[in-house]
Every structure is written in structure tokens, then in C-alpha cells.
Structure 1
Amino acid sequence: MGIDAGFDMVPALSKGAEDAQNWASFLHCVRSFYKDDPKVEVKSYWIEFNAGEHPMLPFEGHKFLRFSSKVSGSIATSTGVWGYIDKVTEMAKMIFGPRVQSWCEAAEQYGFYGWDEVYKVRKTWDKPDELDSNASHLTAAHISSHTDLIEVRQIPGKGRGLIAVCDIAKGARIVCESPLFLIKSMERTKLDKVLGAKLKDLAKEQQRQFLSLHNNFPGKHAFAGIVKTNALPCGCDSTIGGIYPTICLINHSCLPNAHSNWNSEDEVETIHAIQSIKTG
């Protein structure tokens, strides 16, 4: 049958801002540490480790109970899954402390949760929570039909990015997108508090989109780090920036092939090609 090992989160994380921020910090640590590891993939709703039984970490922390895999047998040994279990457990303990309860069946230690409970919750990972009543729409509805020109892909060494799926002519509008929210520039501690309130006003899918964005400033203020990494100013010299689930995935270049523009009347950001862009 094999030997299972891993860790459980006890008690499980809440939907509160503090737990969500800590989970975002944890996922950022994981993604940063394994950014060059081809076995670690960022999927639409979770991070997946292509080793052993493919342990996973969901983007929504309140849906996480267990990170584990069989660590015995030829597949586990050849894929090095024990190393992933050990390192991810170590990173989790740094952020969540005693809530991370590690276990290994070889030492007659067993997880806190029953497998039925773990599998039941895991089935909800790709089903975002119901929309908040005050969240009127998903940002995806405001992405123009021109998104058939691009798609999101995992780029080695750079994380997720936008890739042209066909040749794009100079001057073509590549994407038009409403922001998840707008935010003024402010000090990090204050910014985190403001962002906590803004995230509560978003639909769960939009919260997931925000938390999945890259963070170049890991640490205590994870929300602020995501904003500082990704916010685009709403016009030249504006102190107000917008966060976009698609546009923020565009990789920076010192020789850009596209230009962004804020439309203050419609409150959308548009991206146009400023030179011909080849497929890929």
C-alpha cells in the first residue's frame, strides 16, 4: 500500500484577511523557491508538484487541509517527492508555526483529518466560492474578444505570462480590461489594511486572481507586495493604480512590443501592439 507522509493545517485556515495574507505569503515563498523547477507547476487553481502522488496547494487557503503523498515505492523514490514534502513543510512552519502538524505513517503518525474529509474539500478547489452579493461581475467579463490573440502560459524562469497564439499586426488592440480595483499610493502598513477591505468586496474568483499574481516584495505585507509589483498607473504620473488579472501577467521588456493606455471615461486599460508580434 505504501507509506504516506505530509502535514495537515490544524485548525484549518479561515476566510479572514490575516489568514489569507499569510497563505499568500506562503504560496509566494513556495513559488519563488521552485521557480526554476519544471516539476512544480502553477495551475489555474493550485500549485502542483509532479512527483509521487502529485501533492498540491490551492490558491484559496481556507480550502486547504493536507499536503501529502506516498513517500515509499519506486515512483516516489524516482521523483524525489519526499524532498518536496520536507521543504514545503519547513516553509509552512515558518509562517503558520504549530498549526502545521507534520506526520509520517512510518513513525505510526497519522494526519489529523480523515481522508474522506480531505478529498471532499479538495473537490472544491476548482469551484470558486459563491460570488459576494456586492460583487457585481467578474473581471473576465470585461476582457475584450481580442483575447483570442493571446493565452496565459507558464514561461520557464518567469512564471505565468501572456503569449501570442497568432501573428499580431502593429496597431492591433490585444486586450481591454477593467481593473479588479483601483488603489492610491500609500505606506505599506496602511496599504495592507486598505487592501484587506478591498479584497472582501471582490468575488471569490477575483480574490483568487489577485492572490495568484506575482509578488516581488515577500514578507509581512503580502497584499501590499502584490500591488507594488503589479499596479499600473491610471494615466501618466497618476498616483492611482489598477490591478488586472490578465494585463498584469505581461512580462516587462526594455524593448516593448506593446503599449498600455488608461481610458478614464470607460475605466479600462487597453494594450495595443506598437510593432508586429510573431506567434509565441
Structure 2
Amino acid sequence: MGVDCGFDIYPSISPQCQGLYEAFLEEVIQEYKDALHPNTGEPLIQIIGTPETKNAYVFFNVGEGPVLPYRSEYFLRFESKLVSRDNVMPYLKEVYLIARRHFPDNVHFWAAGTSPALIRLLHKIPDIREEEGAVRKDHEYIYKTLREMRRLVKED
């Protein structure tokens, strides 16, 4: 089972906000471009695909490998299971805080499998959702979109 944490984008960001989304993505990339995984020494992030065509995503080499797509309309959720081998929470929190600066009304941090109040207390996550579980309930759509993003990257 385990504990899942992350944040949802709801309502979704429209393609008309691509410029603002690119500023968010650039801030995240600048924050982590030289960062190394604390256990393996490998780069913390990788850009997979071709950013120029927007058929790409930023892969975080920590936890379950959360991703940030280059297309704003594919940015629905940033999440990972909390795993013992990696402390993924600092990355979930920092990307959440960056996203909040760019999209304050669309970003909602959540926790599933534990008390959100405990996560807020331990990790000092501001404005975490009080109810346990994700904000978005369209899980199948989220995972279908993620699969589509990965398919486009492979075809590019």
C-alpha cells in the first residue's frame, strides 16, 4: 500500500498558458540541473525527448520517478510513493512551491495513505489539502495522458 504524496493541477492549465508554464518549467530545471542524487551521485533530473517539439518531459530520478511534461495540457499531477530508499519529499515540496508561485489557484498538495496533517507537520507543506487523497478523481484520464506523453516522446 504505502504513502503517496504529490500535488494535482486543478483546474487544468490550458494550452493558452504555455508561456507561463514554460517559465515554471525553466525555474524547476534551473533549480535541479546541476543537482545529483544523494545516494547514487547520478543527475537528479533528465530531460527525456525533444523539448523543441514539446514531446519531452523532465524525469526526476528519485522515488517513483515523478515527471513534468513539456506540454502544459499534460501537467495534471506530480506525485510519488514515499519510498525508503529515497527521500523524495523535499523534491515534491520544492516543485510544489515553485508551481504555487506560477499557478496559485490550480495547485493542490495532497497525501494518501497517511494523515495530511502529519505530512504538513513533518514536512512543513503550506496549504496541504485537509482530506486524505488526491484532488483529481479522474485517475484513469491522468494515467492515460501520461501514457500518451511517453508515446509521443518515443515517436519523436
How high is the TM-score relative to the length of structure 1? 0.42
Question: Equivalents in 2 of 1:24, 1:93: separation in Å?
Answer: 14
1:40 paired to 2:45? yes
Q: Which runs of 5 or more residues in structure 2 are unaligned?
A: 36-42, 50-55, 117-130
Q: Residue 118 of structure 1: which of 139, 142, 145 is its match? A: 142
Report what 1:54 is aligned to: 65
Question: Equivalents in 2 of 1:112, 1:70: separation in Å?
Answer: 16
Query: Contact between 1:9 and 1:99, CA under 8 Å: does it hold in 2?
Result: yes
Report what 1:27 is aligned to: 25
Report what 1:109 is aligned to: 132
Residues 12-64 of structure 1: CA deviation (Å, up to 9, x unaligned)? 11111xx1011100110000000112121111110001111100000001111
Question: Equivalents in 1 of 2:105, 2:11: separation in Å?
Answer: 10
Query: Contact between 1:63 and 1:124, CA under 8 Å: does it hold in 2?
Result: no
1:86 paired to 2:93? yes
Question: Equivalents in 2 of 1:127, 1:4: separation in Å?
Answer: 25
Report what 1:227 is aligned to: none
* Letter in structure 1 aligned against 2:72: G
Report what 1:172 is aligned to: none
* Offset of residue 115 of structure 1: 2.3
Q: Which runs of 4+ in 1 moved over 6 A?
A: none
Question: Equivalents in 2 of 1:68, 1:125: separation in Å?
Answer: 16
Give the secondary-structure state (helix, strand or coil) at the position aligned to 1:110. coil
Query: Contact between 1:46 and 1:59, CA under 8 Å: does it hold in 2?
Result: yes
Question: Equivalents in 1 of 2:103, 2:10: separation in Å?
Answer: 10
Q: Which runs of 5 or more residues in structure 1 are unaligned?
A: 129-204, 206-280
Give the secondary-structure state (helix, strand or coil) at the position aligned to 2:143. helix
Report what 2:13 is aligned to: 13
How high is the TM-score relative to the length of structure 2? 0.74
Aligned positions, number: 123
User: RMSD of the alignment, in Å?
Assistant: 1.5
Residues 136-171 of structure 1: CA deviation (Å, up to 9, x unaligned)? xxxxxxxxxxxxxxxxxxxxxxxxxxxxxxxxxxxx
